[in-house]
Amino acid sequence: MTRPERDPAAPGRFTLSSEAQDLARLREWLRAEMAGLGVERETRAALVLAVGELCANSIEHAYEGRGGQPIHVSIQGLEDRLVLEVEDFGRAFDAARYVAPDLDALPDHGLGIHLVHRIADSVSVDTRRERGTRWTLVKYRPGHGPADRSIADGGGAPPPARSGEAMDIEVTRSGAITVVVPKGDLDMAAADQMKRVLSGLVNEGAVKLLVDLGNVSYIDSSGMGALVATLKVARAAGGDLHLCALQDDVRAIFEMTRLIKAITNHATRGEALAAWV
């Protein structure tokens, strides 16, 4: 029996549990849904990030770290736009308490909601309900909507890993420089591990850190926060943290947050090692 094709205008739905480890399943589903809706790769990558940031916000703030709670995600592909919703049933988002990050001050937190607004063409928040928050994002297809802007231009408005860790992180030495090579998604599930490894190296006196992101195809605000926090500690100790080998999707996120200008970065590891003075 042939399975009937889903109407592209009918929303696809996904439910994840309020645990950081579940975010990878969400990303896999959302990428497949958007590919089926004919969404171009650059937009897919940006919207996966935006939805992931909202789900991470639900995990950390709405549910205050409690696991096993539902987060519903849906996507609807219309002729002129995509409509995505993220819904939780925890503590409601309080817009009055949100403070936009000062991008010139190397923020290590608060970037998530900023990225959502940068990526989507329209963001609305519904907290007029018994519990929780429903976020609705609209992203217009190319040639439609109030503006046809690229993601990079802003989109919308304002040591080895231990068993059970989220990432494999290799650490090697090249003279006075310590090279750190994470492998996998540097998201909410891996950020604490990354920060722990980097901070441990600085505490041991390794204050010149080169983080090779060539094996990282996805990073969110938690991952960037871990890098920025360590950068500040390394600079205070007389060292620095540099980056190299950023993949295109990762570089786009650093550009949206202006961190690409604040953190020294190079195209390759060899170039980074040779340029370090």
Q: What is the pLDDT of residues 68-85, one digit of tens each?
A: 999 999 999 999 999 999
Helix (H) or strand (E) holding 99: none
Mean pLDDT, all residues of the chain: 88
> Are 115 and 221 a contacting pair, CB within 8 Å?
yes
Retrieve residue 188's tokens: 């909410």
Which residues, in sequence order, are bridge partners of residue 168? 183
98 SS3 class: coil
How confident is the model over 247-271, as a mean pLDDT? 94
Is the pLDDT higher at 128 or at 59?
A: 59
Q: Does position 276 have pLDDT exceeding 80, yes or no?
A: yes
pLDDT (tens digit per residue) in 143-164: 887 554 443 444 443 333 343 4
Domain ranges of the chain: 12-153, 168-275
- Give the separation between CA 188 and CA 250, rounded to whole angstroms: 15
**35-39, 162-166, 270-274: least confident range:** 162-166
The pLDDT assigned to 165 comes to: 57
The single-letter DSSP state of residue 10 is S
Q: How confident is the model at residue 97 (pLDDT cuts 50, 70, 90)?
A: confident
Q: Does position 233 have pLDDT exceeding 80, yes or no?
A: yes
In sequence order, what DSSP letters do the residues of 12-47 get, joined into one string?
EEEEEESSGGGHHHHHHHHHHHHHHTT--HHHHHHH
The pLDDT assigned to 181 comes to: 96
252 SS3 class: helix
Retrieve residue 2's tokens: 């042939």
Q: Does position 203 have pLDDT exceeding 90, yes or no?
A: yes
Q: Does position 1 have pLDDT exceeding 50, yes or no?
A: no
pLDDT (tens digit per residue) in 128-145: 888 999 999 999 999 887
Q: Does position 250 have pLDDT exceeding 50, yes or no?
A: yes
- Give the separation between CA 26 and CA 73, rounded to whole angstroms: 9
Rg (CA), the chain: 19
- Give the separation between CA 105 and CA 89, rounded to whole angstroms: 33
The pLDDT assigned to 18 comes to: 97
Percent with pLDDT over 70 in the chain = 88
- Give the separation between CA 239 and CA 201, rounded to whole angstroms: 12
The pLDDT assigned to 277 comes to: 66
**52-56, 151-155, 166-170, 225-229: least confident range:** 151-155
Lay out the sheet containing 265-266: strands in order across. Answer: 168-174, 177-183, 208-212, 240-244, 265-266
- Give the separation between CA 126 and CA 132, rounded to whole angstroms: 9
Class of domain 168-275: alpha beta
CATH architecture assigned to 12-153: 2-Layer Sandwich (3.30)
Q: Does position 123 have pLDDT exceeding 90, yes or no?
A: yes
> Are 247 and 216 a contacting pair, CB within 8 Å?
yes
The pLDDT assigned to 161 comes to: 39
